[in-house]
Structure 1
């Protein structure tokens, strides 16, 4: 086993650098070395080759040899000898003169030494030995195939086999060479049988094979073996101590299948469910950056498989996204010139995937009502965290410079731009929502809406957005979305957060740019759209937040009308619906006790309360701008109803609500 390995690759002879070996040999040693190299090149049989090699290892330690000399020795030995030794050992040839286990040990040791030389590692001769090495690792040393004489796998022998395979894997086409020679099946079997070093080195090698572009190919070809391995590893993970789990997260992420592979497997679904159960308390714990990074990467991989469905309750989902945002921000705040470590880059990539998954969920067309609470929470966390990240990114990377391009890009899709079929198909495949229809062009703007909602509230980016006519784009989006929503048979049970966000962005423009609202024709189109939509929306309690957005937006536009304008038919229809909608928010049936939020508003009150108060404020502005509206308010009985409620009820749901009603009473 006294075989040579390159100084920088380690080995039994030592690990000195090239600076250490210059002049390290005496003249006598050099003379013997040259004779031995000559003997290696002209050896007539394996015995002479081994004798010369043994003499070199005794007289000239590897630490005293430079790389060119080692390369000469390796080339003189060649790969034929270790290959013959392996084949002879496996066949159990009784005439070999050495026991099979010694032949095997010597052959693998020679291969391990030779593989440290790059030219040798990529040699076809060495590649032909890979199936033999894999067989040894999977089944142990089996001598004489007829007798199937198996023995325990020696640790040194296993280490040499793994060294050769690891060196090959590091070659440009190494992973493909190993995959084509059965590495996945053999290594999975080695782990399953708990063979020597299978967990220490076998899993590491498997992880390398399953990284990058080969992962899809490996999983599609070896699904049963890899799924069985994943079940075993996840079981070990769940049964380990907390400290051990922290170190296993990074490794476990490597063995998860790529999205779309074996998704229908109930076994895989059970594994993902168990992993989430273990990860939830870990995400909530106080951890070092290194540990939280591997946990977030594993969480991102699990989201790729089944989305938010199995992640956990909404509060946990919010926490997960929040921690991802924090890690991204910390990573981006590295001082200029400080390169991010590969681990940090890997963590940030996983965090971006978590944030992306949250935004995809928030922008999905809708979910069944049974899932509405989770959907609402995901939508809320997505908007909040998006705003936080946008604030930071805008400051650090001058995001406003990208706005003209982004707006024009989304407009080209929204207003009839034709997508390439491949892109459209890809986007449909990437959609998380259950309603995965054709890519219509609205989806491009959906992803930008959270940013527009924030940026439209700030002066500098808002001016940029106005220059590229963003309000007209948003009105067009609302119009198309309303047409789509109205045509759906399941309209009563769906909620579209993107329409709500578009209304919020338009509301920002309405509040901050009154002159633009008065002059821009797109706001006249918006008024017509709201006059059509609101009378229908007030009868859809499950779309209450969207209704509140439309009501508030229409009233805020109405307060900007000139004083002499009369109430048009469309505006009258809108105001009548708005008054009926606002009146339905509070229930005074328990008088003389306190008024309550009505049953139809109760589930959405947190999202709609501020809009309701803002609508009351805007209603007063409409009455001041157009005195004839006051007559309409009285005719509708809204004012009488509110006055009676204030008089009869001992209290309102909260002080802000009471203040809003008191103010409107004085105004009207």
Structure 2
């Protein structure tokens, strides 16, 4: 990196102004200046040719030695002045500049700031403003070196610089004085704090009117403010720079500077705040300074609404950064009020003719507002439809380009915002009522969106997602690490999870890419550094982590589950997690559909044999984890549904026996007998999630009945596990089963066992004979137990993500 050396010339001017006030510096400086003129006359050709002449190098070495061994600050400033006069900054290379920076050090500018703020300028012979000017200029020059900008000595001067910018030195002296004193490592740090207290006391003694007048009339010198912002920006661009500024109160101080319209607060302060609020520190900044940031947002919104038309387009891009994060704890009505004002400006802009370059920031700002406040503040349904239509048009214009066309970063940013608008519109169109008499929409929905408008929205969305499919067809493996490709992939998956009847052939043809894209990231193939870094920057929540490679699959699984119900055959992969993971449950739903629609593939494909082994290993562990009961029910059902496709000729291994044994123990834990005068009930462990697993439990029992008929060896396992005894005992102590579906499932189970095992059949009949009183009503259904479960299993309705139906 080439250092910005323009600040050295500013320092020269300021040192020249201070020469008369610093006697020792004047004497040394005079000798040095005379020597400097001689050196320039010695070899001006070397300077013109670029680089330093031998004579200049020699003088430079002597000056560097003087810097390192200076007895006081005057000597240091004199040596620095001589360097800037003899060796023009544009002739110094990186290594030389670094040596100068290291020789000057950070203690000098820090002491200058402390001396100025402490008000003891008499000892230095310079006015406080001159000390501030010189100290901030030195810090600005030193901060251009990234290594120097991250040193603790410079970081501890940040509170002082923030106080200068906010013009609140007296009010925040006690808060920041200790940090500044520690940075200087000076024995006078206590005096520094005391002087702050004295200054504050003087302010309290003055009249309130004079204080307000002084606060409003006093302005920071523009050069000082510029140097302070230069240091802060140098820190902000470092990897952990925003966090360092946030921890030192930068957001609060900068908001105060903007509120009081301090020098350069709008030109430099607002952009700096935008940098702090556009990354991972956004959520933390809003949690620590909600009042200040909301007031700033309100001010910027007011400026946005009152700005000239030509300036509003430029302000859209900057306003995005100042919106609160999704899920912030601010009062909902306040945010909606702000969003309503912004939408009031955006509506006429979107209804006017804008070029693609102009409309991009408008659509991105609209997408961010949707994330924060939903559709309620957007406007009437007609405008909502217009917003979606314009987003879809931009997507088509951006993506329907010939192969090989490169999208600029600006267009990619615009299209990413359009994706979010499309996703929000798709969610709304899918939940809207199917008739005018449908219930009122949710609070965050589009109020009054008619059925015809919903259909129009779905139509333009279909055209836009057709362009998305076309674009992804052109993506090769070398672009798998492109964040924009991931955003496009994610948007398509959200569409497929809701809508598969459209573009069926195009989506089917694209499935190899979708699966390959997920597999590539799961296995870590190729270069994905760019995507990993992008995900790290976008992860603003504490619960989010960096890129793991599993993210694409998590988005694709719901789409695959929906697609599998449309007879589209592809295989998704999944792994076992220690916590409840809806993506794994969704994967089981998709695979259950395959066992029904493609039984021959399930029988022959080696992947499903490996899946059975995985289930046999995972299920015994899951049955002992109550928090994972729903996942265990999915695993159990999937294993039994695959097991029913086996034949008598298939070999039986230990993993297969383990799967059935674990399934039997798991299923028997769902129901418990009544008190003798009441119905059977769901056990407490299952009751909390019975709504989710009831159909899975009944489907597992039915599948187990089919397994008994195709694999007679399971009968002995059933008796050994005490399953039949448990059934008969539960029936004998209950007056009824929880519902008709459960009763039918048990009937098929008992019928299958009775047909395959004469001993079991005898036990059932004996239990029925011994039944007395009201219990006989429960056992009566077993009279038809010899009827076999029909082929309805193989041809019944399929299981979808949102609602499962028994076979």
Q: Which bin holds the TM-score, normalised by the shorter protein?
A: 0.5 to 0.7
Equivalent position to 1:85, from 112, 117, 137: 112
Are 2:7 and 2:138, in contact at CA under 8 Å, matched by a contact in 1? no
Are 1:318 and 1:377, in contact at CA under 8 Å, matched by a contact in 2? no
Separation (CA, whole Å) in 2 of partners of 1:162 and 1:275:
29
The verdict on how the C-alpha distance between 1:460 and 1:6 changes in structure 2, with shifts beyond 3 A counting, is: closer
Separation (CA, whole Å) in 1 of partners of 2:563 and 2:58:
87
Separation (CA, whole Å) in 2 of partners of 1:115 and 1:459:
53
The verdict on how the C-alpha distance between 1:209 and 1:400 changes in structure 2, with shifts beyond 3 A counting, is: closer
Number of matched residues?
Answer: 423
Equivalent position to 2:199, from 140, 147, 150: 147
Aligned partner of 1:389 in structure 2 is 464
Are 2:473 and 2:510, in contact at CA under 8 Å, matched by a contact in 1? no
Residues 189-338 of structure 1 aligned to structure 2 (within 5 Å):
189-262=256-329, 264-333=331-400
Are 1:83 and 1:129, in contact at CA under 8 Å, matched by a contact in 2? yes
Are 2:395 and 2:467, in contact at CA under 8 Å, matched by a contact in 1? no
Q: CA deviation at 1:394?
A: 3.3
The verdict on how the C-alpha distance between 1:22 and 1:350 changes in structure 2, with shifts beyond 3 A counting, is: farther
Equivalent position to 1:37, from 39, 64, 67: 64
Are 2:500 and 2:563, in contact at CA under 8 Å, matched by a contact in 1? no
Q: CA deviation at 1:168?
A: 0.1
The verdict on how the C-alpha distance between 1:470 and 1:52 changes in structure 2, with shifts beyond 3 A counting, is: closer
The verdict on how the C-alpha distance between 1:129 and 1:382 changes in structure 2, with shifts beyond 3 A counting, is: same
Residues 536-615 of structure 1 aligned to structure 2 (within 5 Å):
none
Are 2:150 and 2:235, in contact at CA under 8 Å, matched by a contact in 1? yes
Aligned partner of 1:53 in structure 2 is 80
The verdict on how the C-alpha distance between 1:39 and 1:375 changes in structure 2, with shifts beyond 3 A counting, is: farther
Q: CA deviation at 1:225?
A: 0.4
Q: 3-state DSSP class of the match of 2:70?
A: coil
Aligned partner of 2:250 in structure 1 is 183
Q: CA deviation at 1:300?
A: 0.6
Name the stretch that deviates more: 173-182 or 452-461: 452-461
Q: CA deviation at 1:8?
A: 5.0
Name the stretch that deviates more: 364-373 or 375-384: 364-373
Q: 3-state DSSP class of the match of 1:225?
A: helix
The verdict on how the C-alpha distance between 1:471 and 1:333 changes in structure 2, with shifts beyond 3 A counting, is: closer
Separation (CA, whole Å) in 1 of partners of 2:563 and 2:157:
68
Equivalent position to 2:501, from 453, 458, 463: 453
Residue 184 of structure 2 corresponds to residue 117 of structure 1: no
Separation (CA, whole Å) in 2 of partners of 1:316 and 1:267:
23
Deviations 1:210-262 (A, max 9, x none): 01111111111111000000000000100111111111001111100011114
The unaligned stretches of length 5 or more in structure 1 are: 402-443, 476-668
Are 2:5 and 2:89, in contact at CA under 8 Å, matched by a contact in 1? no
Separation (CA, whole Å) in 2 of partners of 1:471 and 1:106:
68
Are 2:149 and 2:235, in contact at CA under 8 Å, matched by a contact in 1? yes
Aligned partner of 1:134 in structure 2 is 162
Deviations 1:60-100 (A, max 9, x none): 21111111111111110001111111111111113232111
Equivalent position to 1:473, from 550, 562, 565: 565
The verdict on how the C-alpha distance between 1:300 and 1:100 changes in structure 2, with shifts beyond 3 A counting, is: same
Q: CA deviation at 1:474?
A: 6.0
Separation (CA, whole Å) in 2 of partners of 1:225 and 1:387:
43
The verdict on how the C-alpha distance between 1:13 and 1:169 changes in structure 2, with shifts beyond 3 A counting, is: same
Separation (CA, whole Å) in 1 of partners of 2:394 and 2:243:
35
Aligned partner of 1:620 in structure 2 is none
The verdict on how the C-alpha distance between 1:265 and 1:20 changes in structure 2, with shifts beyond 3 A counting, is: farther
Separation (CA, whole Å) in 1 of partners of 2:475 and 2:61:
71
Aligned partner of 2:93 in structure 1 is 66
Are 1:262 and 1:268, in contact at CA under 8 Å, matched by a contact in 2? no
| Coordinate RMSD, CA, aligned | 3.4
Equivalent position to 2:440, from 369, 373, 388: 369
Are 2:392 and 2:464, in contact at CA under 8 Å, matched by a contact in 1? yes
The verdict on how the C-alpha distance between 1:461 and 1:65 changes in structure 2, with shifts beyond 3 A counting, is: closer
Q: CA deviation at 1:199?
A: 0.3
Are 1:29 and 1:59, in contact at CA under 8 Å, matched by a contact in 2? yes
Q: 3-state DSSP class of the match of 1:208?
A: helix
Separation (CA, whole Å) in 2 of partners of 1:34 and 1:462:
67
Deviations 1:570-589 (A, max 9, x none): xxxxxxxxxxxxxxxxxxxx
Are 1:41 and 1:76, in contact at CA under 8 Å, matched by a contact in 2? yes
Are 2:63 and 2:80, in contact at CA under 8 Å, matched by a contact in 1? yes
Separation (CA, whole Å) in 2 of partners of 1:233 and 1:246:
14
Q: CA deviation at 1:299?
A: 0.4
Aligned partner of 1:351 in structure 2 is 418
Separation (CA, whole Å) in 2 of partners of 1:277 and 1:472:
44
Deviations 1:329-353 (A, max 9, x none): 3332456555433322221111111
Name the stretch that deviates more: 50-59 or 102-111: 50-59
Are 1:153 and 1:196, in contact at CA under 8 Å, matched by a contact in 2? yes
The unaligned stretches of length 5 or more in structure 2 are: 11-45, 174-194, 204-213, 477-491, 513-559, 568-807
The verdict on how the C-alpha distance between 1:175 and 1:365 changes in structure 2, with shifts beyond 3 A counting, is: same
Aligned partner of 2:765 in structure 1 is none
Are 1:89 and 1:103, in contact at CA under 8 Å, matched by a contact in 2? yes
The verdict on how the C-alpha distance between 1:317 and 1:81 changes in structure 2, with shifts beyond 3 A counting, is: same
Are 2:52 and 2:91, in contact at CA under 8 Å, matched by a contact in 1? yes
Aligned partner of 2:125 in structure 1 is 97
Aligned partner of 1:360 in structure 2 is 427
Separation (CA, whole Å) in 2 of partners of 1:160 and 1:459:
56
TM-score by length of 2: 0.49
Are 1:455 and 1:461, in contact at CA under 8 Å, matched by a contact in 2? no
Q: 3-state DSSP class of the match of 2:449?
A: helix
Name the stretch that deviates more: 286-295 or 182-191: 286-295
Q: CA deviation at 1:207?
A: 0.2
Q: CA deviation at 1:27?
A: 2.8
The verdict on how the C-alpha distance between 1:473 and 1:52 changes in structure 2, with shifts beyond 3 A counting, is: same
Separation (CA, whole Å) in 2 of partners of 1:168 and 1:89:
23
